[in-house]
Amino acid sequence: MNTMDTPLRDGFPLLAASPDLHYLDSAATSQIHRSALDAVARHETTCRANVSRGTYRLAEAADRAYEQARQTVARFLNAGAAGEVIFTSGATASLNLVAHAFGNTLKAGDRVLISVAEHHSNFVPWQMLRDRTGIELALIPVTDAGQLDLARLPELITGNCRLVAVTQCSNVTGAWTDVATLVEAARKVGAKVLLDGAQAVQHGPQDVRALGIDFYAFSGHKCFGPGGVGVLWGREELLAKLSPFHTGGGMIGEVTPQATTWAPPPQRFEAGTPPIAQAVGLAAALEWMMTLDWQQIHARESRLCELLVDGLLRIPALRLLGPESSAARAPIVSFDIPGLHPHDICQVLDARNLALRGGHHCAQPLMAALGIDVCTRASIALYNDETDILALLDGLSFALRELA
């Protein structure tokens, strides 16, 4: 079992080569772990071939590597079976897959419930479905602290509600969703639950069965793996009832001039050549994550988050977005300083080797609900330490003087 005594930063090649870099943008993209890089390189140089139906040894080795990656993801999620794991190009593709495949089972008047806090990838597809089919699209509002206002659930989860699709953790406020309360309310009317786990997975393995949900989406590049790969997990019995989103090679049963039948899940939803090497790299990253002491990592991330929040609250005029308590939020901390644009702040900080993100963070409905257009965001991961937080607080003091 690895412990925090091991210098985790050394396992990330870019960070190991850049000792002066304070990388605080992991909510956008985490750094890739060496094990994932090595796995991709090893796959591409020893068994690069397309998967499915190849009858030579190289292709069979690629098949084994790809399906072993699926099994690793299933273990990371505590899924019921590896066949419940679908590889996609990222969380956005996974969410769109559900919006189209599950959306095809809905009719005018059925309700989908999302929240004001959603990333655009879990907002826009449902708007398009509403405009295309006439479903009802309802929104869970947020509190002043940026948390989902679940007190409104009784009026929002109505008898015609078929799906609740929400973020597990806000990419802006860091606020955790009370998934248990939401699932309980959804089950009372027979609604299914989709969880966008893009911001949760870098903070440890997930248990989709314990969460009690029906669909789960995440991206590899946010949990120390390669870009270009994501996962959609779905309950086996639900996936079997859905029609495919993309069509083409690899996802068919039989094609005749008259009709086409589909392969069973997960192949039904993996048309064309999948992200083979990326899936292998993602599996290596998840295998590494499953060796870590997450109780210790969570405690460390929480301490760093508290240090940052305490420092930010001492800055006059600064508005902290999201809960002040580190127990109620992931280590994602956004703030607004009236009169100063986040892009200007981030550029000044970049000159001091601080990497943060400024903008609307693909969450414009949440920005509007919070009464702002844009904000600055710092996000903490397991390779950050106190020096990163102190450098940020010192850099902000400098930026305030420079930009005043």
Between CA 193 and CA 164 the distance in angstroms is 5
Rounded distance between C-alpha atoms, residue 52 and residue 286, angstroms: 24
Q: How far apart are CA 111 and CA 162, in angstroms?
A: 6
> Helix, strand or coil for residue 360?
coil
Q: How far apart are CA 197 and CA 216, in angstroms?
A: 6
Give CA–CA dist 393/156, Å, rounded: 41
Which residues make Cβ contacts (< 8 Å) with residue 391, sequence separation at least 6?
Answer: 22, 352, 353, 354
Instruction: Give the max Cα distance, the chain.
Output: 71
Query: Any alpha helices (H) in 148-196, and if so which ranges?
Result: 153-156, 179-188
For the record, the structure tokens of 296 come out as 């210790």
Q: Provide the strand spans (E) within 7-93.
A: 22-23, 85-88
Q: How far apart are CA 329 and CA 314, in angstroms?
A: 19
Confirm whether 362 is a catalytic residue.
yes
Q: What is the SS3 assignment for 49?
A: coil
Residue 97: closest CA among 266, 247, 246, 219: 246
- The active-site residue, picked from 161, 346, 362, 375, is 362
Active site residues: 362
